[in-house]
Structure 1
């Protein structure tokens, strides 16, 4: 889907300042959200791509003003509520208890909640790659074009590459999950992934990119099409 989350290649955000002493976590709550998410990843509540897509559903102003782990918390709360595991009211109530410095928290009522999950309700978080190979459609050195698609759901192809031509630099012929369909539980659609080399000026134009500069991007097979010779 198109949205502010697809920030790759966008202009106007200023220089990237690198702090060599930047801590792993800039806040205590951020480290807790990280840990909570890692635990939930193992419980069968969501899959990796569903979680990513949920972040993409944030409103533009919220996405830009929130922090990295604030976006994770947004996705966590939304999916837990949708799965009938934790309600918005329960979260707000606990926030009020913490804000009032209450020492004895009211236990969360699990009656009527879908928790713990039955084995049949659990979903695999899922790895990107499977221990099998597939027959790739494209080969190294072949020129391909990124399909100019604008799906309403999740996609891992970034906007600035759509419709652009590049050369297949490497073929990753192991079976890779197709995130665009797994995010919506429409199957894993195992396929090859290709490292495609793009001339930077092809992506951003001669005015904004240096000559003889290249960008290497991994793209799923379903995101590419062959370039027909005249």
Structure 2
């Protein structure tokens, strides 16, 4: 079954129209606050980036299709805060005022820490894990059907439009955390991550520009060797 958020490459949604260079970074002031509070809450250490992405994917189809970008962010954040026990629904609605210092208060991201935290990022490369099975120049086929092979309806970084497609390994990025596992608290399960090149004609039956190519970063468990 398809997932509501997995609409990349779908026919009929119209062209992607990038904003001009003079466009503001945030279209509204609250967009900046939504980004800031999401990053600050991530510093509490109660979830990882893949958990956060999956929270946005799990919004109801009705909400997902009508919410703007940052409405998705702030709504998914509210869900995570309650699910992880950081806050209650009453906390979010302001019904009950906190009577004591929150257990996670010491993890608060202070203003003077923001620049350093953002600069350091959250590296997902790891050592160990299974050996790489593919080499640059080798043909591979993506898993079909796609989706998360570990959790029904779970998070994955294999887009629906690329399932069952044949591509060519461009490079090995090293070993990285597997989102399909990390998003669901099943451990990092690191495995090799590859840049895979696909012809547009391999991904779509009637591509507008057949000679275009798309490069996707895909984990080893998404791939199998393609006989030539």
Q: TM-score, normalised by structure 2?
A: 0.82
| Correspondence for 2:189 | 189
Residue by residue over 1:84-111, the C-alpha shift from the partner in whole angstroms, topping out at 9 and shown as x without a partner, is 22112232236xxxxxxxxxxx733459
Compared CA separation, residues 176 and 71, structure 1 to 2 (3 A): same
- Kindly indicate whether residue 123 of structure 2 is the aligned counterpart of residue 127 of structure 1: yes
Aligned mates of 1:45, 1:110 — CA distance in 2: 20
Which structure has the bigger radius of gyration?
A: 1
User: Hey, which bits of structure 1, 4+ residues long, moved more than 4 A?
Assistant: 131-134
- Kindly indicate whether residue 14 of structure 2 is the aligned counterpart of residue 17 of structure 1: no
Aligned mates of 2:51, 2:57 — CA distance in 1: 10
CA RMSD of aligned residues (A): 2.5
The question of whether the paired residues in 2 share the 8 Å contact of 1:143 and 1:227 is answered with yes
- Kindly indicate whether residue 104 of structure 2 is the aligned counterpart of residue 116 of structure 1: yes
Aligned mates of 1:186, 1:164 — CA distance in 2: 28
Q: TM-score, normalised by structure 1?
A: 0.82
Residue aligned with 2:74, SS: helix
Aligned mates of 2:222, 2:44 — CA distance in 1: 31
| Correspondence for 1:90 | 91
Aligned mates of 1:156, 1:71 — CA distance in 2: 18
The question of whether the paired residues in 2 share the 8 Å contact of 1:201 and 1:209 is answered with no
Compared CA separation, residues 227 and 18, structure 1 to 2 (3 A): closer
- Kindly indicate whether residue 36 of structure 2 is the aligned counterpart of residue 35 of structure 1: yes
| Correspondence for 1:74 | 75
| Correspondence for 1:4 | 4
| Correspondence for 2:97 | 107
| Correspondence for 1:122 | none
> Number of matched residues?
209
Residue aligned with 2:215, SS: strand
| Correspondence for 1:157 | 158
Compared CA separation, residues 110 and 87, structure 1 to 2 (3 A): farther
- Kindly indicate whether residue 122 of structure 2 is the aligned counterpart of residue 139 of structure 1: no
